[in-house]
Amino acid sequence: MEARSPKTIVLIGTLDTKGDEVKYARERIEERGHKTLVVDTGVLGQPSFEPEVSRERVAQAAGADLATLMAQRDTSTAVRTMMAGTTELVKQLYSEGRLDAIMSLGGGKGTAIATAAMRELPLGVPKVAVCTSASGDTRRYMGSKDIIMFPSITDIVGLNRVNRLMLDNAVGAIVGMVETDVEEPAQDKPVASVTALGITTPAAMKCKDRLEAQGYEVMVFHTTGVGGQAMEELIAEGVISGVMDLTTTELMSELLGSSFVAGPDRLEAAGRRGIPQLVGPGGLDMVAYAGRRAVPEEYTNRLLYDHTPALTVMRTNVEDNARAAGVMAEKLNCAKGPVTIAIPTKGFSAYDQEGELFWDPEADAAFVETVRQQVREPVQVVLVDAHINDDHFVDRAVQLFLE
Amino acid sequence: MEARSPKTIVLIGTLDTKGDEVKYARERIEERGHKTLVVDTGVLGQPSFEPEVSRERVAQAAGADLATLMAQRDTSTAVRTMMAGTTELVKQLYSEGRLDAIMSLGGGKGTAIATAAMRELPLGVPKVAVCTSASGDTRRYMGSKDIIMFPSITDIVGLNRVNRLMLDNAVGAIVGMVETDVEEPAQDKPVASVTALGITTPAAMKCKDRLEAQGYEVMVFHTTGVGGQAMEELIAEGVISGVMDLTTTELMSELLGSSFVAGPDRLEAAGRRGIPQLVGPGGLDMVAYAGRRAVPEEYTNRLLYDHTPALTVMRTNVEDNARAAGVMAEKLNCAKGPVTIAIPTKGFSAYDQEGELFWDPEADAAFVETVRQQVREPVQVVLVDAHINDDHFVDRAVQLFLE
């Protein structure tokens, strides 16, 4: 094994409350031959050692004064300020080539501050957040980014044999990642994205095969909220050059109070970049909730089906479909590039076909009617007399996309 | 850098649907000088290459026959069977010294199978699960274990420049972890655990300092469900030799339909092992829910407070406190070791004190009364005329614990 050039791992923590633990991680990283750059985000007591980037500088980077901030004793302002400052400095360090990887350790607030900064870094830059809340809802920390949530198992207040073991492994992970030679893949093929849920997967897989046969590199995104969000971001970054957005159920999530949302900008990035879009109504027949209890009260009398105890799906009705069609039309009317909406008239998902629980031609028809009324030239609407998962629909959709 | 001895990384995936991706990960691991041992958990088509452990063997390990299983075409049976078989084989490989680390890649079902097996391995054994659902609710996969959920960003159906980058980094992380020399910490100090929530943190921190002064290594656990569960497991494994379980709010979570549960066995492991316990009613004044919508319908008229949009707390009433006291008494009556219940009469959390929102002496008194009625000798109940976060209470509690 050859000696590698040392990399810089930015280490974020509150040196007033977790100074010993940050120091421990720093020493472990340095033992493995890499450099650290410590950013202090504490606003309570005194830092236990002097970091490369002081909390004063973090506050300054957010246009605030640390002494004033500490005197206010307002936790939420302090968190917001240190979050903004850390994010600013981390972006700066990265752009100056002084950040090869980033690691944090903290409780809820410390992790919120550090991961906000991590989310601004490109995919592939190693990001590790050690915290007690890795097992649970991680989306507020990760968003759609590649942040590794490393559980500390016990609280990070003083080192003990368990959290020390976790820190050892977390350091191992980030060191292993900075020592990875990421193969620069051949960038010659254009990238097309395809959206899917389990209930539209047959359509997506066929699409993928056909697009690959046409020379595309295909990325499939699961439209459970995070997936759609990740796709929108990759479109905005210019990674994706054509979209077969067959499964747009995240519009329903947004309209009907589901937590599986991709954000209000879903279905907009492609239009803004002017890349070709083929859009379908996959999964608009339903909206998914995180179990029965997550179904909003006004919908408890609707047709519900428990896919699993943690996943309840609801049949969307005529009104919902008209609303979703309106939103879709409005978004696509603003697109700068070519847009075709391809609609399978025999059902929008595996649930929505003759003989299945969510088969409801009237609701589907409401979507068709509204979308046709509301789209403007040059957006095209094409009806295909098939089910979304049928070969015939996919063939036609791919053909329309390639045109 | 010296050459390290190669380690074995067990790699789990469905070779029928994700053979190429597993192969890619295997090659990256082998390039870094380590060995792989592939376990196939697929039950659909043919595996794309021959693994070290075939799907037939996985099914067999669960007492099932693969051909029969495949013929049944029943997804949930197949998942359960492959989960049981994989778990069995992984435990066996580990006990034979043929597993130094474990990595999986998959969708929801594949990840459920692999992480069930990972959860059976001790803390510290590197565990990485690459999947699309790392950003979201990870607890069903991680439980209270140190499983690293690595996001694949795009679906793992075919390699593309994004998921390849994620696999490169995931391999980097697991390789970095197996190459970590975990320092065997001095095991001479006895370990005491202390439970806390934000609203009882002052008590826990004081406890920690006093116990450390007495020669203990202290582990603090956040009682948000996962924390209590992790503590119970570490007690069961014999890591912890004394418990100051000041914050038992997870009993309320269990009784009142919160998702922040530590499981029905909370407060039992210490009794079963017969180690000394000092138990308090910290946080029994409230129960936390994951936001307003997670509050069960029957409680929507109760006194609720939104700590954050994602965290709503409810004041528990007289009846709840009597019930929790009954559960606590029943569990502690079965303990094989010494148990003292120390109760601060001036409030159970920062919310529950004079002038604060949850101050309710009647509800607290219901707890005291019931617990006193229902505990049996030799369990002691000691009332302390102080608030839980007062020095006086902590001093007394530590003294009782040390006795």
Q: Cβ contact (<8 Å) for A220 and B148?
A: no
Q: Residue A75: pLDDT band by 50, 70, 90 thresholds?
A: confident
Which H or E run includes A196? strand A191-196
Q: Residue B307: pLDDT band by 50, 70, 90 thresholds?
A: confident
Token pair, residue B390, equals: 């007062």
Beta bridge partners of A341: A279, A381
Concatenated DSSP letters of B250-294: HHHHHHTT-S----TTTT-HHHHHT--EEEEEETTTEEEESSGGG
Q: Which of B308, B302, B293 is nearest to A293 (CA)?
A: B293
C-alpha A142/C-alpha B123 separation (Å) is: 23
CB contacts, 8 Å: B168 with chain A = 180, 182-183
C-alpha B271/C-alpha B275 separation (Å) is: 7
pLDDT per position as a tens digit, B239-265? 999 999 999 999 999 999 999 999 999
Token pair, residue B95, equals: 């006990």
Over 90: is that where the pLDDT of A149 sits? yes
| Cβ count near A158 (within 10 Å) | 18
Q: What count of Cα atoms within 13 Å lies in the side-chain half-sphere of residue B374?
A: 19
Question: What strands, in cross-sheet order, belong to the sheet with A380-384?
Answer: A217-222, A191-196, A242-247, A277-282, A339-344, A380-384
- Residue A1's pLDDT is 42
Alpha carbon dihedral A157, A159, A165, A170, in 10-degree steps, equals 60
> Could you tell me where the beta strands, DSSP code E, fall in B177-216?
191-196
C-alpha B96/C-alpha A95 separation (Å) is: 48
Q: Cβ contact (<8 Å) for B169 and A126?
A: yes
B340 Cα to chain A: minimum distance (Å): 24
CB contacts, 8 Å: A191 with chain B = 160-161
Nearest to A151 among B133, B146, B212 (CB): B146
Question: What strands, in cross-sheet order, belong to the sheet with A286-289?
Answer: A286-289, A311-315, A304-308
Q: Residue A184: pLDDT band by 50, 70, 90 thresholds?
A: low
Scanning the structure block, which residue is given the tokens 């070709």? A276
Task: Give the residue on A whose Cα is nearest the Cα of B109.
Answer: A198
Task: Give the residue on B whose Cα is nearest the Cα of A161.
Answer: B185
- Residue A182's pLDDT is 76
C-alpha B283/C-alpha B263 separation (Å) is: 17
Task: Give the residue on B whose Cα is nearest the Cα of A261.
Answer: B136
Nearest to B177 among A3, A164, A169 (CB): A169
Q: Which of A182, A242, A124, A259 is nearest to B153 (CA)?
A: A124
A379 Cα to chain B: minimum distance (Å): 28
Nearest to B162 among A123, A142, A143 (CB): A123
Average pLDDT of B196-216?
96
Beta bridge partners of A315: A286
Nearest to B151 among A142, A163, A174 (CB): A142
Spacing of C-alpha A263 from chain mean position = 10
Nearest to B155 among A126, A185, A220 (CB): A220
Q: Cβ contact (<8 Å) for A165 and B205?
A: no
CB contacts, 8 Å: A142 with chain B = 134-135, 151
A217 Cα to chain B: minimum distance (Å): 6
- Provide the residue type at B85 as one letter: G
A159 Cα to chain B: minimum distance (Å): 8
Q: Cβ contact (<8 Å) for B132 and A222?
A: yes
Q: Cβ contact (<8 Å) for A160 and B219?
A: yes
Q: What is the mean pLDDT of chain B?
A: 95
Q: Residue A170: pLDDT band by 50, 70, 90 thresholds?
A: very high
Is omega for the bond preceding B378 within 30 degrees of 0, making it cis? yes
Handedness of CA A74, A79, A80, A82 (dihedral sign): positive
pLDDT per position as a tens digit, A35-50? 999 999 999 889 999 9
Token pair, residue B235, equals: 């007690």
Token pair, residue B201, equals: 């943190």
Average pLDDT of B51-57?
97
C-alpha A251/C-alpha A233 separation (Å) is: 17
Q: What ipTM was assigned to the predicted interfaces of this complex?
A: 0.93
Beta bridge partners of A220: A194
C-alpha B94/C-alpha B89 separation (Å) is: 8
At A275 the three-state DSSP class reads coil
Q: Is B129 within 8 Å of B114 (Cβ atoms)?
A: yes
In angstroms, the Cα distances linking A117 to A100, B245, B394 are 14, 36, 38
| Cβ count near B194 (within 10 Å) | 30
CB contacts, 8 Å: A231 with chain B = 154
B362 Cα to chain A: minimum distance (Å): 31
Rg value, chain B, Cα? 24
Over 60: is that where the pLDDT of B2 sits? no
pLDDT per position as a tens digit, B4-45? 789 999 999 999 999 999 999 999 999 999 999 999 999 988
CB contacts, 8 Å: B135 with chain A = 138-139, 142-145, 226
CB contacts, 8 Å: A6 with chain B = none
pLDDT per position as a tens digit, A296-324? 989 999 999 998 888 999 999 999 999 99
Q: Residue B185: pLDDT band by 50, 70, 90 thresholds?
A: low
Q: Which of A166, A171, A143, A146 is nearest to A154 (CA)?
A: A166
Q: Is B372 within 8 Å of B381 (Cβ atoms)?
A: yes
Spacing of C-alpha A150 from chain mean position = 18
| Cβ count near A295 (within 10 Å) | 21
Q: What is the mean pLDDT of chain A?
A: 95
Any idea what the Cα angle at residue A117 is, between residues A111 and A119, rounded to 5°? 95
Average pLDDT of A188-197?
95
Is omega for the bond preceding A185 within 30 degrees of 0, making it cis? no
A296 Cα to chain B: minimum distance (Å): 8
Q: Cβ contact (<8 Å) for A182 and B168?
A: yes
A vs B: CB pairs below 8 A: 231
Which H or E run includes B135? none
pLDDT per position as a tens digit, B272-298? 999 999 999 999 999 999 988 889 989
Residue B89 burial class via C-beta count within 10 angstroms: exposed 0-12, middle 13-18, buried 19 and up: buried
C-alpha B378/C-alpha B332 separation (Å) is: 10
Helical H segments across A299-360, by residue range:
318-333
Which H or E run includes A201? helix A201-213
Q: Which of B62, B49, B63 is nearest to B11 (CA)?
A: B49
CB contacts, 8 Å: B163 with chain A = 219
Q: Among A20-29, A175-184, B298-307, where is mean pLDDT lowest?
A: A175-184
Question: In sequence order, which residues have a C-beta less than 8 Å from that of residue A68 and are 6 or more positions away?
Answer: none
Please state the φ and ψ torsions of residue B340, each to the nearest 5 degrees.
-125, 130
A188-212 in b/e form (b: 16+ CB < 10 A) is eeebbbbbbbbbbbbbbbbbbebbe
Here the contacts of A357-365 (C-beta below 8 Å, separation 24 or greater) are A357/A303, A357/A305, A357/A315, A358/A285, A358/A286, A358/A303, A358/A305, A358/A313, A358/A315, A360/A285, A360/A315, A360/A317, A362/A318, A363/A285, A363/A315, A363/A316, A363/A317, A363/A318, A363/A320, A363/A321, A364/A281, A364/A285, A364/A321
Task: Give the residue on B whose Cα is nearest the Cα of A142.
Answer: B135
- Residue B133's pLDDT is 87
Q: Cβ contact (<8 Å) for B294 and A296?
A: no
pLDDT per position as a tens digit, A52-69? 999 999 999 999 999 999
Nearest to A139 among B126, B135, B219 (CB): B135
CB contacts, 8 Å: B137 with chain A = 136-138, 290, 310
Q: Residue A73: pLDDT band by 50, 70, 90 thresholds?
A: confident
- Provide the residue type at A67 as one letter: A
- Give chain B's domains with CATH numbers: 8-178 (3.40.50.12020), 191-402 (3.40.50.12030)
Q: What count of Cα atoms within 13 Å lies in the side-chain half-sphere of residue A344?
A: 29
- Residue B3's pLDDT is 55
pLDDT per position as a tens digit, A215-245? 999 999 999 999 999 999 999 999 999 999 9
Task: Give the residue on A whose Cα is nearest the Cα of B17.
Answer: A205
